[in-house]
Amino acid sequence: MEHYLGMDLGGTDVKMGVVDSNGTIVVKQSYPTPAGLAGDKLADYFAECMRKTAAAAGLRLETLAAAGIGAPGLVNTTNGILDFVTNIPSLNDYPLGPQMAKRLNIPVAVDNDVNAMVLAELYYGAARSYRNIVALTVGTGVGGGLIFNGQLYRGSSFGAGEIGHMSIETNGPLCNCGNYGCLERYIGREAIVARFDALYRHKKLPSSIDRHLEQGAITPRAIAMAAAEGDELSLFVMDEIGRYLGNGLATIVNILNPELIVIGGGIANAGELLLEPARREMFRRAAVMPARMVKVVQAKFLNDAGILGAASLAREGSDRTD
């Protein structure tokens, strides 16, 4: 059986795992993202962490089929250069792909973490056997991954999938991206938390979210967890988010007519509490035939999406060069 190493690059942690070709995580580890290192030194560090992770799985790194790296931001998958990395500016414009390949002596694929996530769902998760798939991750931002005719579609400059930046209100609130009324401004972390917080402070509905707070803070995950226990305010907010999401899904369905929409990210922990209102709104808005045929489901991998996704990039890269 082949093994892949997956590395999920984050601003504070680097998560790594060895994944076999059935999608089983053999071992996983987490390392801090060192703030003081940049460029080649940082690549050396990643290589060292990868060796340790492979060793923890009882394998020599050189015996792995390939490594994959998922990064938040814009990645040129042709030359392996990180064009723009959210939260790790020291890696901007760095050729991480070729530099890691030189250090590891195995093929290395680098890509955006949402592309990684949709591949994990395609290979091992909720999207197996589907060919036209749209994945959305609803977290701090709202990202998207697109599979058309069974192939990852990256767009013409690796920028496809920015579903969070469809404008759903022409003159809506300004978004960080420069657009107005972006979907992300309604269902992204900041919007959800601000909305919950306002309703909570004004005691619009009863809530016992306190036990789910994360380090004292309201988070989308906390709202999802409270909603699952029947918390009234959380359920109300979840329904609101679900309907905004459904509005975005209707546009996706009308334009792309996918078979499957997979929803991941922190808020996806709410499962049907989010998906049910989203589907209802999507169906109310989208054209009947594509709306009837599309399935809207929760991602199979929520906590392990990063590692499995990165390992899936390794597999996809190997398939492409075959």
Q: Is 215 in the site for its own copies (CB under 8 A)?
A: no
Stretch that binds its own copies, among 36-44, 144-152, 195-203, 270-278 (CB under 8 A): 144-152
Q: Is 236 in the site for its own copies (CB under 8 A)?
A: no
CB of 21 to its own copies, least distance (A): 26
Residue with tokens 């760095």: 94
Among 73, 167, 199, 280, binds its own copies (CB under 8 A): 167
Angle of CA points 63, 67, 113, to nearest 5°: 160
**Cβ distance to its own copies smaller for residue 46 or 186:** 186
Task: Calculate the alpha carbon distances from 188 to 89, 169, 181, 265, 278 in Å.
Answer: 22, 15, 12, 10, 15
Among 32, 211, 287, 303, binds its own copies (CB under 8 A): 287
Closest CA to 70 of 55, 57, 56, 85: 85
- C-alpha span between 299 and 290 (Å, rounded): 21
Q: Is 284 in the site for its own copies (CB under 8 A)?
A: yes
**Cβ distance to its own copies smaller for residue 96 or 252:** 252
**Cβ distance to its own copies smaller for residue 9 or 286:** 286
Phi, psi of 153 (to 5 degrees): -105, 115
Q: Is 318 in the site for its own copies (CB under 8 A)?
A: no
- C-alpha span between 61 and 67 (Å, rounded): 9
A 10 A CB-CB count for 113 gives 24
Interaction site with its own copies (CB under 8 A): 74, 83, 131-132, 144, 146, 148-149, 151, 153-163, 165-170, 177-180, 244, 247, 250-252, 254-259, 284-290, 293-294
